[in-house]
Structure 1
Amino acid sequence: MTEPVDGALDRVSSDIIDALRSDGRKSYAAIAKEIGVSEATVRQRIQRLTEQGHMQIVAVTNPVGRGRYTSMLLVKTKGDVELIGAALRTLPEVTFAVATAGGYELLIEVMCRDGEHLLAVINGSIRPIPEVDSVETLVYLKLLKLSYQSGVWPTTG
């Protein structure tokens, strides 16, 4: 089976991702048994899914845990979102950034040491980008839910 060209994942790839979302340390053999394919198929699919950017296998930390000061930034722009995105990719504090529709053109997650560090990132690295019009800051206070086991993956069947 090969992946469809429209970006949707086929059932095997979707099932592999679902298996890893429930337990990112699950072995290839366990996934293969669970979804009814060979271990080699699982290994090849995982390699292809990561190479193509469909997924990453990483440890997920609590964004408001000790020593982490995480915030969501809502950004209004007056220019090309792609140019701003290129600048944001260079900032080590930026952990997530997406172009959005609605009142803000960008949604950015940043992880800093403390409020002073956050202010330095906003005032020294983000606001100086010429296309940035304004930044609204939402500081995370308490984790209420962190789960990657929900949601619907687009599949072809």
Structure 2
Amino acid sequence: MDRPALDAIDEKIIAELTRNARLSHAELGQRVLLSRNAVRQRIDRLERQGHIRGYTLVRGGHEDEDIASALVLVYREDRLRGGEVLAALKRIPEVVICDVLSGEFDLMVRIEARSLERVQGIWEQIAQMPGVRDTVTALTLARVVSRPRG
């Protein structure tokens, strides 16, 4: 049975729940700019359609190897007035790091998503943002070092 495609808000809801499945509907609604009731209805639909098949406890200590990740180096049209690009990147839940760089590139963006298709969709979204001149993208093939902060 084919499942209906997800829209951008559904993707954001799934990304937020993937990060923290214990979010309240109200908190999730604030993050995706919907009412608590609208979020509840979407989650119910996503569960019925099979996009969400359950909630589970994941013990710490092991990296999730099913996550696709990429680095996107971004050239902006105007470094000094490129705040719209930064604001747009902050709204994408799968953007886990966004650093302003000196040198040739303006921004380094790290994407972590549940599939390569989602990484590609986010890359396309970034490339089409007003104020983005060009991008260079590298997919992560393997993680060799992953140190906890602190």
Q: TM-score range by the shorter chain?
A: 0.5 to 0.7
Does the residue aligned with 1:85 lie in a helix, a strand or coil? Answer: helix
Does the residue aligned with 1:75 lie in a helix, a strand or coil? Answer: strand
Q: Percent identity?
A: 19
TM superposition shift of 1:61: 6.5
TM superposition shift of 1:81: 3.0
The alpha-carbon distance between structure 1 residues 60 and 139, as it changes in their structure 2 partners (threshold 3 A), is: farther
Aligned length: 89
Q: Which runs of 5+ in 2 are unaligned?
A: 1-59
Q: Deviations over 1:6-34 (max 9, x none)?
A: xxxxxxxxxxxxxxxxxxxxxxxxxxxxx
The alpha-carbon distance between structure 1 residues 99 and 114, as it changes in their structure 2 partners (threshold 3 A), is: same
Which protein has the larger Cα radius of gyration, Structure 1 or Structure 2? 1
**With CA pairs under 8 Å and 6+ residues apart, which has the higher RCO, 1 or 2?**
1
In 2: Cα distance, 1:102 partner to 1:61 partner: 35
In 2: Cα distance, 1:89 partner to 1:103 partner: 22
In 2: Cα distance, 1:89 partner to 1:60 partner: 27
Q: Which runs of 5+ in 1 are unaligned?
A: 1-58, 151-157
Q: Deviations over 1:64-85 (max 9, x none)?
A: x322001111011112332211
Corresponding residue of 2:135? 135
TM superposition shift of 1:114: 2.0
In 2: Cα distance, 1:115 partner to 1:132 partner: 22
- The one-letter code matched in structure 2 to 1:126 is I
In 2: Cα distance, 1:133 partner to 1:60 partner: 39
Does the residue aligned with 1:88 lie in a helix, a strand or coil? Answer: helix
Corresponding residue of 1:146? 146
Corresponding residue of 2:20? none
In 1: Cα distance, 2:85 partner to 2:61 partner: 26
- The one-letter code matched in structure 1 to 2:73 is L
Corresponding residue of 2:70? 71
The alpha-carbon distance between structure 1 residues 134 and 66, as it changes in their structure 2 partners (threshold 3 A), is: same
Please tell me the root mean square deviation across aligned C-alpha atoms, in Å: 2.1
The alpha-carbon distance between structure 1 residues 114 and 147, as it changes in their structure 2 partners (threshold 3 A), is: same
The alpha-carbon distance between structure 1 residues 122 and 146, as it changes in their structure 2 partners (threshold 3 A), is: same
More moved, 101-110 vs 125-134:
125-134
The alpha-carbon distance between structure 1 residues 94 and 77, as it changes in their structure 2 partners (threshold 3 A), is: same
The alpha-carbon distance between structure 1 residues 120 and 61, as it changes in their structure 2 partners (threshold 3 A), is: farther
TM superposition shift of 1:148: 4.0
In 1: Cα distance, 2:72 partner to 2:61 partner: 20
TM-score, normalization: structure 2? 0.53
In 2: Cα distance, 1:60 partner to 1:75 partner: 32
